[in-house]
Amino acid sequence: MASSKNPRRNRPAPRSSAENRRAGRQFLAASALGALNTANARTPIARQGGVSIPSFFSGWLTSEMPLHAIGWQALSTVAWARRGALRTPAGIAALGINAASWVALARIWKEAMSQDRILDAALTDAFGEDFEGARLVEPNVTRKRVAKGPLTQWKRRYVNGPALSYGDAGRRNQLDIWSRPDLPTDAKAPVLLQVHGGGWIIGNKDQQAMPLMAHLVDCGWVCVSINYRLSPRATWPDHIVDVKRALAWIKDNIADYGGDPDFVAITGGSAGGHLCSLAALTPNEPEFQPGFEDKDTSVVAAVPFYGVYDFLNRDGTGRDDMEQVLADFVLKSTPAQAPQLWDHASTMSWVNADAPPFFVLHGTNDSLVPVEQARSFVSMLREVSKEPVAYAELPGAQHAFEVFDSPRTIYSAGAVHRFLETVRARAGHGVEPADSTRRAHLAVVPEDRRIKGTTSMKYHVPGSQWYDRTTAEVWFDTVEEATAAGYEPAGGAARQKVPD
């Protein structure tokens, strides 16, 4: 018996010409907005004034996730096409705009993928061609890490206990200790203190540098991430006093958590870059240590990311509008009213020959803190410091570029690790590859039956044990190819000579 159902009844009714034209115009508007966002990621629309804040936010996400942006724009194109937009001249124009945007986004991705060379050049310039950290293998830029981006839950993996108090300001004086679960309490591992940013007004210890801390912890380090008092409730110098108090706490207590109090480095981004650089240049300074003047707050190295180095804008490289914010909310005075307070709050005022090694990182596209101030600070420091000053200026990088996983973040974490290990080796605390060898493992991946060779460098924490750190994954189509490359599929592990 023939079916009485007509299959055409289930088809959607054809859209009218008016509906198509409306969809085309809407698609054109959406494409223009997407192209504007891409253009802002390539070259920020504003670097001063209120517009610089939305310029930063959209440019930051797009420049660190250009492939995600291509994906969203492609899905949008498909959705508009289904609504009939491509049946109109406006829709065809929108498609052309999207195609141009995708080309620009692909170039952003390519630029980010090449920045390992810029970071390597910065370290070579500071330490010479054969610096100690050069043998360490870069962390991998994998599709999974890049795809997850800001969704990776780093803290769950590496913070194994509750927040600890280092002062009497409640939650604002709490810290987290990041470490490997298998790190012995007597490991004497190197320590990194992370100071968050947020314009001295917002922010907390769970927001920045997590990929960096995760990488270092995997390599046997202990990391400490702190909260500190924030304005407008807090008034300068409360912020730097808290950083100093945290350093004193670390020197007194970190040995109980496997860390070495004799090797403590410091890092931070934005306002945290200001605080970490200021702390590094003012060891044991009584002005910033009220009530604990006798405590050791020195550090062995500093790694400020996109930091503010001068509140007085003495050379014109800072933001024109920052002084008012600082006067109203942070220092609560003007430079004319409290000239010494403002001068001593500026990192540039403390540049001296006894500065520890520095690695300064800044992006050329920073809309919140001008890259020119980083250049000026580095120039001042290099003129007088007896220690190396490395400087990496990253093309296309916005403010906060290392907050979540992206190629630039991953490469930066590897470069900071190499910098710190070089400092450590030169100070006699170096982590050295075991007999210049790597241990290789092979595994067959069931999904595509290809061969994965995983190379692990072994690291030694003095006074403790050896640790494996996975540093590279190499894919082969056959076992024969893997064997020819020096990997051994039988027996689980083999010894592979590291090239000189």
How do residues 251-278 score in pLDDT, each as one tens digit? 999 999 999 999 999 999 999 999 999 9
pLDDT, residue 500, reads 37
Q: Is the pLDDT of residue 432 over 60?
A: no
- Mean pLDDT of all residues in 210-221: 95
User: Catalytic residue positions?
Assistant: 270, 366, 399
Angle of the 66-82 helix axis to the 17-42 helix axis, nearest 10? 170
Chain segment 305-346, per-residue pLDDT in tens: 999 999 999 999 999 899 999 999 999 999 999 999 999 999
Q: In the predicted model, is pLDDT for residue 421 greater than 90? A: yes
CA proximity to 140, closest of 407, 416, 401, 453: 407
What pLDDT does residue 149 have? 86
Cα gap 213→192, rounded to integer Å: 8
Give the integer Cα–Cα distance in Å for 186 and 463. 8
> Predicted confidence band at 237 (pLDDT cuts at 50, 70, 90)?
very high
User: Is the model's pLDDT at 287 over the cut of 60?
Assistant: yes
Looking at 45-49, 96-100, 397-401, 469-473, which range is the least confident one?
469-473
Mean pLDDT of the chain: 86
Check residue 488 and give its pLDDT.
Answer: 52
Burial 229-253 (b: 16+ CB within 10 A, else e): bbbeebebbbbbbbbbbbbbbbbeb
Please report the pLDDT score of residue 428 as a whole number.
Answer: 87
DSSP for 264-325 reads: EEEEEETHHHHHHHHHHHSTT-GGG-TT-TTS----S-EEEES----SS-TTS-S-TTHHHH
Tally the residues of the chain.
500
Q: Which residues pair with 359 in a beta bridge?
A: 390
55-81 tens-digit pLDDT: 998 999 999 999 999 999 999 999 999
Task: List strands edge to edge, sheet with 437-444.
Answer: 466-476, 451-460, 437-444, 494-497
Share of the chain above pLDDT 70, in %: 83
pLDDT of residue 140: 80
Asked if residue 176 has pLDDT above 60, the reply is yes
Average pLDDT over residues 236-258: 98
CA separation for the pair 460, 457 (Å, rounded): 10
Q: Predicted confidence band at 12 (pLDDT cuts at 50, 70, 90)? A: low
